[in-house]
């Protein structure tokens, strides 16, 4: 329940964050919750195993498809539909050799659910590049018309990372004078060209054989991108990923989060070069902290776990200030709200209850490809526990009626209002299609 016209709880929870301003809510944008990892290992090593482990750590960010591309003398590719465990096995992993590797788990935004849309993507001409991204190109249709339909060039898929790859490769090729290889400045110039052409929210990692690895974040830094390093007996390793937990599981030390509009390049000499290519204000996706990311991740040096706890505390303070009746208990829905629900319950001094029993063999419903599939999965994913919920149903209904008399809404939701206002980086259906909780059937709520 939210008091009418009260500030949304994330305003309170983010008051201390340096990049959170009033404009953050007003900024618009679309993005997705794919997950990626790129690794540049010492010469003679194979990085596919670490890429695989990293993809398992971000499987929650995409369950539609997955892929890995590595390089020795040629690109080695394995992609498919389904979960990481379903795609990679003892038969195909041994051929993914090389110390340059990129991996991706996909949740489709632009494009469909075809195998052709699975990332990463790669080019062999005019220069070899393998690339993966997390995000959504908002001017994809415009770029498709401008660079492909009019020129006769054809794409291999309907995935928007292909237009980023095309823009990057063309800009890089334009600066090359054979037999010279691209330098850090050439790579940064190509990224700058991407910024000028591609609009939307995106974080990108790319490997360039015989050149190195590059990662960059869109001019507003909407989607997260974290960089890490480690040293072993073989030498120095570099990795870039969409969440810090990917680095943690592979033993990397989290070095830094890329800034908005920043690019990072590691060349064959293993020197790390950073360059800020945009002066736009940082507008990170708040929904990453609300829902997308794992609670044990850090995004822009902010703990996801602690932030969700602050959400719950702020929501409890707002609940009290609204004069709403004290709830019987606090029940988390969905699973990512558990930390917030526990903090809210502790702040209010009421019990925390697991009122829904989750079927953990069903994926995250937010990333299902259609509303019909999401609706079906929601019913199967979480079943109310009669012993915890139904015995308080009549009393709870009376309390809901009393709360509505005071102008309160139907449920405590610290993110709903902000998302309806169009937080940067969140793909949502039109607000006029949203159904209030009191108008839903019991099996939908």
Within 10 angstroms of residue 9's Cβ, the number of other Cβ atoms is: 27
CB 54 within 8 A of CB 246: yes
CB atoms within 10 A of CB 223: 30
Q: What angle do CA 96, 99, 103 make, to 5 degrees?
A: 55
Does CATH number 3.60.20.10 belong to domain 35-282? yes
Residue 333: count other Cβ atoms within 10 Å of its Cβ. 15
pLDDT of 361 = 67
Rounded to an integer, the average pLDDT of 81-108 is 95
- Residue 346, C-beta contacts closer than 8 angstroms, at least 6 positions apart: 312, 352
Q: What is the mean pLDDT of residues 152-172?
A: 89
Grouping H, G, I as helix, E, B as strand and the rest as coil, residue 343 is helix
Q: What is the pTM of this model?
A: 0.80
Q: Which of 34, 159, 240, 285 is catalytic?
A: 34
| H helices, E strands: number in the chain | 15, 17
Identify whether the C-beta of residue 282 lies closer than 8 Å to the C-beta of residue 221.
yes
Please tell me the predicted confidence (pLDDT) of residue 417: 42
CA dist 67 → 87, 115, 245 (Å): 8, 10, 19
Q: Tell me the CA end-to-end span of the chain in Å, nearest whole number.
A: 15
Tell me what pLDDT residue 385 has. Answer: 56
pLDDT of residue 373: 55
Cα 442 from Cα 436, distance rounded (Å)? 12
Nearest CA among 313, 259, 299 for reference residue 15 = 313
Instruction: Please name the helix (run of DSSP H) or strand (run of DSSP E) that holds residue 129, with its range, or none.
Output: strand 129-137
Checking if the pLDDT of 167 tops 80, the result is yes
What does 56-85 look like in DSSP terms, one character per residue? HHTGGG--SEEEEEEESSSEEEEEEES-HH
pLDDT surpasses 80 at 3: no
Give the per-residue SS3 of 247-268. HHHCCCEEEEECCCCEEEEEEC
Residue with the larger pLDDT of the pair 84 and 366: 84
* Contact present, 99 and 40 (Cβ < 8 Å): yes
Spatial neighbors of 136 by CB under 8 A, at least 6 apart, are 30, 31, 32, 109, 110, 160, 200, 201, 202, 427
pLDDT in tens, 19-50: 444 443 333 333 357 999 999 999 999 999 99
Give the per-residue pLDDT at 235: 97
Render pLDDT for 378-405 as a digit per residue (tens, 0 to 9). Answer: 555 555 555 555 444 444 454 445 445 5
Whether 167 and 193 have beta carbons less than 8 Å apart is answered as yes
User: What would the two tokens of residue 151 be?
Assistant: 């020129």
Tell me which DSSP letter residue 330 carries: B
For position 382, what pLDDT does the model report?
54
Query: What is the Cα–Cα distance from 60 to 364, expressed in whole angstroms?
Result: 7
CA 440 – CA 445 distance, rounded (Å) = 6
Q: Check if the beta carbon of residue 50 is closer than 8 Å to that of residue 250.
A: yes
Alpha-helical segments (H) within 58-205? 84-87, 140-143, 161-174, 184-197
d(CA 111, CA 427): 14
CATH 3.60.20.10 domain range(s) in the chain: 35-282
Whether 34 is catalytic is: yes
The residue that leads in pLDDT, 329 or 31, is 329
Give the separation between CA 148 and CA 20, rounded to whole angstroms.
38
Rounded to an integer, what is the distance from CA 15 to the centroid of its chain? 23
Question: With contact defined as beta carbons under 8 Å apart, do 82 and 48 qualify?
Answer: no
d(CA 263, CA 187): 9
Q: Is the pLDDT of residue 423 over 70?
A: no
């Amino acid at each position: 329940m939210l008091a009418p016209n009260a500030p949304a709880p994330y305003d309170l929870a983010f008051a201390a964050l340096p990049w959170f301003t009033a404009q953050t809510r007003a900024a618009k944008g679309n993005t997705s919750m794919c997950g990626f990892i790129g690794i540049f290992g010492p010469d003679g090593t194979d990085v596919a195993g670490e890429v695989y482990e990293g993809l398992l750590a971000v499987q929650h960010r995409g369950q539609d498809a997955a892929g890995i591309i590595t390089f020795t003398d040629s690109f080695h590719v394995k992609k498919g539909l389904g979960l990481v465990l379903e795609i990679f096995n003892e038969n195909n992993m041994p051929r993914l050799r090389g110390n340059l590797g990129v991996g991706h788990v996909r949740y489709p935004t632009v494009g469909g659910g075809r195998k052709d849309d699975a990332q990463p993507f790669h080019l062999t001409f005019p220069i070899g590049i393998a690339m993966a991204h997390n995000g959504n190109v908002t001017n994809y249709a415009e770029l498709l018309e401008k660079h492909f339909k009019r020129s006769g060039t054809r794409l291999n898929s309907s995935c928007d990372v292909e237009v980023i790859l095309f823009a990057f490769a063309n800009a890089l090729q334009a600066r090359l004078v054979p037999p010279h290889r691209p330098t850090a400045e050439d790579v940064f110039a190509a990224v700058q060209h991407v910024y000028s052409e591609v609009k939307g929210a995106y974080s990108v990692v790319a490997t360039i054989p015989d050149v190195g690895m590059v990662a960059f974040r869109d001019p507003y830094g909407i989607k997260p991108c974290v960089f890490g390093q480690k040293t072993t007996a073989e030498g120095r390793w570099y990795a870039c990923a969409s969440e810090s937990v990917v680095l943690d599981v592979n033993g990397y030390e989290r070095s830094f989060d890329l800034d908005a509009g920043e690019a990072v390049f590691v060349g064959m000499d293993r020197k790390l070069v950073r360059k800020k290519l945009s002066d736009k204000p940082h507008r990170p996706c708040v929904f990453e902290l609300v829902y997308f990311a794992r609670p044990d991740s850090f995004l822009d040096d902010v703990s996801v776990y602690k932030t969700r706890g602050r959400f719950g505390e702020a929501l409890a303070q707002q609940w009290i200030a609204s004069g709403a009746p004290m709830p019987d208990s606090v029940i988390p829905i969905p699973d990512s709200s558990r930390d917030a629900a526990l903090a809210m319950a502790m702040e209010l001094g009421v019990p925390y209850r697991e009122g829904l029993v989750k079927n953990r063999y069903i994926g995250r419903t937010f990333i299902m490809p259609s509303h019909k599939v999401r609706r079906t999965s929601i019913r199967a994913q979480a079943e109310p526990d009669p012993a915890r919920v139904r015995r308080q149903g009549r009393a709870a209904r009376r309390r809901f009626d009393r709360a509505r008399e005071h102008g309160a809404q139907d449920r405590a939701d610290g993110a709903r209002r902000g998302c309806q206002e169009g937080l940067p980086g969140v793909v949502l259906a039109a607000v006029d299609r949203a159904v209030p909780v009191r108008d839903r059937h019991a099996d939908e709520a």
